[in-house]
Structure 1
Amino acid sequence: MARAISTKSLLEKKYKNFEFDGIWLLVLGVIAKGGFWLIYGNEKNGKTFFTLKLAEYLTKFESVLYVSAEEGTGKEFQANAERAKLDPKIKKLKFIEYIDLENLKAKLNKRQSPKIVIVDNITVYVNELKNGQLYTLKDEFPNTTFIFLAHEDNKEPYTSTAKLCKKLAKIIIRVVGLTAFVSGRCPGGTIVVDEKTAMLYHGSQIINN
């Protein structure tokens, strides 16, 4: 059961923050580590490409584990990594195929465990995250930042678990036409993943914005 705290205790709480820079600081601001992020969108719109670039950037701050639960780490995923021009010298970014939730938790309980976990895709874990398990995951690992990817249905995250994740998420990113639209508990804004493709999809106004 959660313990009530005084106003003084609330105001004196300290947090470890991500000290972003550049476009990331502009749209994300200064965010406390831990909690949930959600990235969602239709297929072939640049979700994985954008997330791989984000994953690489986040290694500036913490070690990152990318769980490619839906696609695996085969040829197609390798091609995505090549398109994203990931730097092979970065050792703080690791990839793994589907791992069940209990084994993932065991991995996160080890010393030197990653503090950022990207789960691609939340649909694969829909049964394992039912019945309050999403809340449990957040409570068990308060200092770990979980970034979930989700499919889209009618402009909203697909599955009830993904919709709950959106409600809990501090950062919400919808990827459309190789453009990331950022909202949530942050300044918000857009990040153009690929300028030429984004202009074809959205028109030149997206670049001007």
Structure 2
Amino acid sequence: MSGDRLKRALTVNDILNKKYELLDFKGDWYDAFDQPEGRGLWFVWGNSGNGKTSFLLQMMKEFARLGKRMLMNSLEEGAGHTIHKALLREGMSVLNRKLLIVNESMEQLDIRLSKRKSPEIVFIDSFQYARMSFWEWVGFLEKHPDKLIVVISQADGKKPMGRPAVSTMYHASLKIWVEGYKAFSKGRYIGQNGGTYTIYEKGAKLYHGTE
């Protein structure tokens, strides 16, 4: 053990002088989520029928505005008809080559992300279909520190479904709960409106009321 080389400890000024790659969110995105760091782990969860898919597609449009290259690993639905309908509903054809969609194992995704010029932002749908433990997720993230990984999870009540999902959610820098066509920031980035993004105005009013 005495021969192991330790990493240099950082001073306060090291941290204060560090440059971070922040996402230049605008409008409703900035109001809800401020300007989060463009790498690491984001965790999105919610029950079926509350607007998770629409929220993610709208998020992709905002990333496209920022010029980001994205990939979605659609483990749960593949390229099925429900994905087709969602892409049409949200007008996703405007993204063209900025978004690639695959249905592959996490091992295959790991290889893809290790290549040069691989996508900067990766969506994984869903946590449960990835079939990985919390520590496997930690290892995956450590292998790709320059990526932003957005994980979508099924829910059990108001919690992510399963203990590994709960642990991974706590590990995320941005935690987003989706309910009644609204997305609520539960993580480290909360914008000036208190961290709420409205996915679908009419549906949100019917669910939450007009207040």
Q: TM-score, length-normalised on structure 1? A: 0.90
Change (3 A) 1:80 1:195: same
* 1:60-75 aligned within 5 A: 60-61=65-66, 62-75=68-81
What's the counterpart of residue 194 of structure 1?
200
Query: Quick check: 1:70–1:121 contact (8 Å CA) kept in 2?
Result: yes
Partner residue of 1:95 out of 92, 101, 120: 101
- Greater shift, 83-92 or 22-31, is seen at 83-92
What's the counterpart of residue 41 of structure 1?
46
Partner residue of 1:172 out of 175, 178, 187: 175
Distance 1:26 1:198 in 2: 17
* 1:1-209 aligned within 5 A: 3=7, 4-61=9-66, 62-97=68-103, 99-126=104-131, 129-130=132-133, 132-187=135-190, 188-205=194-211
Query: Quick check: 2:87–2:93 contact (8 Å CA) kept in 1?
Result: no
Distance 1:6 1:196 in 2: 50
Deviation track 1:146-197 (CA, whole Å, cap 9, x = no partner) reads 0000011121111122111211111111111111112211124211111111
Distance 2:166 2:176 in 1: 13
Change (3 A) 1:131 1:24: closer
**Shift of residue 90, structure 1, vs aligned partner:** 3.2
Query: Quick check: 2:47–2:157 contact (8 Å CA) kept in 1?
Result: no
Query: Quick check: 1:117–1:145 contact (8 Å CA) kept in 2?
Result: yes
**Shift of residue 89, structure 1, vs aligned partner:** 5.0
Distance 1:33 1:179 in 2: 22
Q: TM-score, length-normalised on structure 2? A: 0.89
Change (3 A) 1:160 1:2: farther
Provide the aligned C-alpha RMSD in A. Answer: 1.7
**Shift of residue 131, structure 1, vs aligned partner:** 5.9
The runs of 4+ residues in structure 1 deviating greater than 2 Å are 1-12, 87-90
**Gaps (5+ residues) in structure 2?**
none
Distance 2:30 2:184 in 1: 14
Query: Quick check: 2:54–2:86 contact (8 Å CA) kept in 1?
Result: yes
Distance 2:173 2:92 in 1: 26
Change (3 A) 1:181 1:169: same
Amino acid at match of 1:191: Y
**Gaps (5+ residues) in structure 1?**
none
Identity over the aligned pairs, expressed in percent? 30
**Shift of residue 12, structure 1, vs aligned partner:** 2.2
SS at match of 2:189: coil
Deviation track 1:74-109 (CA, whole Å, cap 9, x = no partner) reads 111101111122134532111112x11121111001
